[in-house]
Chains A and B, each alone.
Chain A
Amino acid sequence: MYAYDEIDRTLVNERVSEFRDQVKRRLSGELTEDEFKILRLQNGVYLQLHAYMFRVAIPYGTLASNQLRALAHVARKYDRGYGHFTTRQNIQFNWIKLAELPDALADLAEVGIHAMQTSGNNMRNVTSDQWTGVAPGEIEDPRIWSELIRQHTTLHPEFSFLPRKFKIAITASDHDRAAIKIHDIGLKLIKNEKGETGFEVLVGGGLGRTPFIGKTIKHFVHGRDILSYIEAILRVYNQYGRRDNIYKARIKILVHELGIEKFSREVEDEWQHIRNSSLQIDDEVIEDIRSRFTYPAYEKLPHMPDELRQAAADPGFEAWRKNSVAPHKVQGYSIVTVSLKPIGAPPGDATAEQMDALADLADKYSFGEIRVGHEQNLALPHVAKRDLPALWKALNRLGLATPNVNLITDIIACPGLDYCSLANARSIPIAQELTRRFSNHELANLIGRLHINISGCINACGHHHVGHIGILGVEKNGEEVYQITIGGRADESAALGNLIGPGVKFDEVADVIEDVVEAYLALRERPEELFIDTVKRLGVEPFKERVYATR
């Protein structure tokens, strides 16, 4: 975990007092709503259908137990006792009062949490693989770089009023869990032939109305140059990104309109001017940031402890272990994913009690650390294998051990029309119904890995384009209609899904999805062939034929 120093603390406190003053001026009428709107957005405050919504950043998905307790405290004191984890390593509170927001921010600042730039046309929360620092085979721990970029992008004097929002994601693994190809900038940490650390830089990915998979703009940018290179991209975008049409304002449109070659030349020209400036990072700076991360003191533990051997006899435990427990880089330890997808409940929600209890479990079993992933689940990143049975029991009591990680009921969904003022259709009730249809664990297991993503409007917060099955709610003649795509994916082989047929009504969505799954089970070559691979092999047609034959 990164620990704030006095400098970081000071900045967050200064931000809180600035926002307190802004809220005061809004409440007194000194600031118009038009003027205030941008200021509140830059502090993560939206006006939704029923109330203000407050989005808090969890930079690169890392949380300390005291920070999770602070989030629970905010849920309890200022909201209705729960929070919603999003697809970008944020947590949202849906019922906050404007006048109380400065206090909520001040409470969070005490534990080094802020809500800066979680919305607005600026550089958003830097996201990363939720398994950084613990996943086997990682090239290097990218959190140091994530933190460096977090600091550099915070209250940036030049890029706080961009044409549109700007999202950066980082991974250091071959298997991309951070969805870097659907970000404005995607960074893949790599080593060059001299063994020096740097990044493959992707640009122009994004979903929404006009989805694009990011393109490689430079195959290797040395670590010491990464800030100047990012700055060059941003400077080109700030000056030339479109501001005439909100739907054409993201960098992906600029990259598309100029073409990646011309865009990269513009960036290169700009970069040559600034790469040898004070933006260059020397090793000492990196070491300083590294020194403020704490690393667990792992014990020497056996690969297969007795506790685990004994628990294997319990089918409930085994079902959970198979889906929720992943290998750790240190022998004797595991990464445990904590499912926030119980059957019949909104995906990604956690109550204050669950957050508090999980913070206690993190202290007991995971060196006080919790991670947040873009799939809207949490993780305990350093669990000794001998503790897995005890942890499972504890999680089960809290309703946090649904054995469905990566299965069909592990659904990603945006808040949709139940909360969001942009939405055209409901998302959560669709997710709830689908989890009920596939609640039988044997059936879900038989289907295997399958990601369903649901968005309640074209803005695509539920990343429907990159779901193995994507569901997009739109409004047609005053009715909710859902378009269904298959074949999308958000990992290193990122692809956009293809429509399988005409949109269907709210009541029919779950039936159609059941038919899609049935078609897959009939079409797959062998049980190990995943849904996404069957779609890749056969294309959309055979699915379309089977699903729409009787409709």
Chain B
Amino acid sequence: MPLVNGGKIADDSFVKLAVDTPLPEGGDILVPAERFLGDADALLKRGGKVGVIWPNNRDIAELVPYLGRIAAVALVFPTFRDGRAYSQARLLRERYDYRGELRATGQVLRDQFVFMLRAGFDCFEVKKQADAEAFMQTAKRYSVFYQPTGDGRITALHRRMQLRHSEGVGT
């Protein structure tokens, strides 16, 4: 499954661990939420980055105490029709100020890239190779956004205010 990181197809430095996979010596690991919470201090002490795979039906606030020390949060779209992770992503970015890697996993398809970017995702485990290759092009599909989110894209309302003011200056 291709990984898109920072807008480009990239290698994945993280190894995903299941609940019972033996802990590798070194290297970056993505750990399921339960395992992480059960053994957070030990996991964070070892060399290599630690990321957490967080299910979409668990309160993301539980992860807040660790946000400064983890390198990645992987949120889950069991199907692309299940949009709970969009709320979790926005909460992480906008309420809890999380600045590390925010990864979309599960059924990640081209036609949701823009929504995901707007919600704060910056890393994508893309289901289909063709979708991964079309990432940059798809990300530019829209130039107008009505809602303010934490992604910093300027909203329509804002742009109108700017236009109004610049017109005001000219007259």
Please report A residues at the B interface, Cβ cutoff 8 Å. Answer: 5, 7-8, 10-11, 14, 17-18, 22, 30, 35, 38-39, 121, 151-152, 154-162, 235, 238-239, 243, 273, 277-279, 281, 284-285, 288
Task: Return 20 A-B CB contacts under 8 Å, by A number.
Answer: A8-B144, A14-B144, A35-B80, A35-B109, A38-B80, A151-B146, A152-B146, A156-B147, A157-B118, A157-B119, A158-B87, A158-B115, A161-B82, A238-B83, A238-B84, A238-B86, A273-B95, A277-B148, A284-B161, A285-B161
CB contacts (< 8 Å) of B145 on chain A: these are 155, 157
CB contacts (< 8 Å) of B45 on chain A: these are none
What total of chain B residues lie within 8 Å of the partner, measured CB to CB? Answer: 34
CB contacts (< 8 Å) of B86 on chain A: these are 157-161, 238
A160-B83, A278-B148 known; A18-B141 Cβ under 8 A: yes
CA of A326 to CA of B114, assembled, Å: 46
Partner of A279, one of B109, B114, B148: B148
> Which B residue sits closest to A284, measured CB to CB?
B161
CB contacts (< 8 Å) of B171 on chain A: these are none
A10 touches B83 (CB 8 A): no
> Which A residue sits closest to B156, measured CB to CB?
A7
- B90 interface hit (Cβ, 8 Å): yes
Most buried by A among B84, B143, B149, B157: B157
CB contacts (< 8 Å) of B84 on chain A: these are 238-239, 243
CB contacts (< 8 Å) of A11 on chain B: these are 142, 144, 146, 156
Number of A-B contacts (CB under 8 A): 95
- B23 interface hit (Cβ, 8 Å): no
Most buried by B among A5, A30, A238: A238
CB contacts (< 8 Å) of B95 on chain A: these are 273
CB contacts (< 8 Å) of B118 on chain A: these are 157
CB contacts (< 8 Å) of A279 on chain B: these are 148
Please report B residues at the A interface, Cβ cutoff 8 Å. Answer: 80-84, 86-88, 90, 95, 109, 111, 114-116, 118-119, 130, 141-149, 155-157, 159-161, 164
> Which B residue sits closest to A162, measured CB to CB?
B83
CA of A505 to CA of B78, assembled, Å: 44
A285 touches B87 (CB 8 A): no
CA of A17 to CA of B118, assembled, Å: 20
A161 touches B147 (CB 8 A): no
CB contacts (< 8 Å) of A281 on chain B: these are 157
Given contacts A159-B83, A161-B86, A238-B84, 5 further A-B contacts (CB under 8 A): A11-B144, A18-B142, A35-B109, A157-B116, A161-B80
B147 touches A22 (CB 8 A): no
B141 touches A151 (CB 8 A): no
A14 touches B160 (CB 8 A): no
A121-B81, A288-B164 known; A10-B143 Cβ under 8 A: yes
CB contacts (< 8 Å) of B155 on chain A: these are 278
CA of A288 to CA of B155, assembled, Å: 14
Interchain nearest-CB distance for B29 vs A (Å): 27
Partner of B130, one of A5, A14, A30, A161: A30
CB contacts (< 8 Å) of A157 on chain B: these are 86, 114-116, 118-119, 145, 147, 149
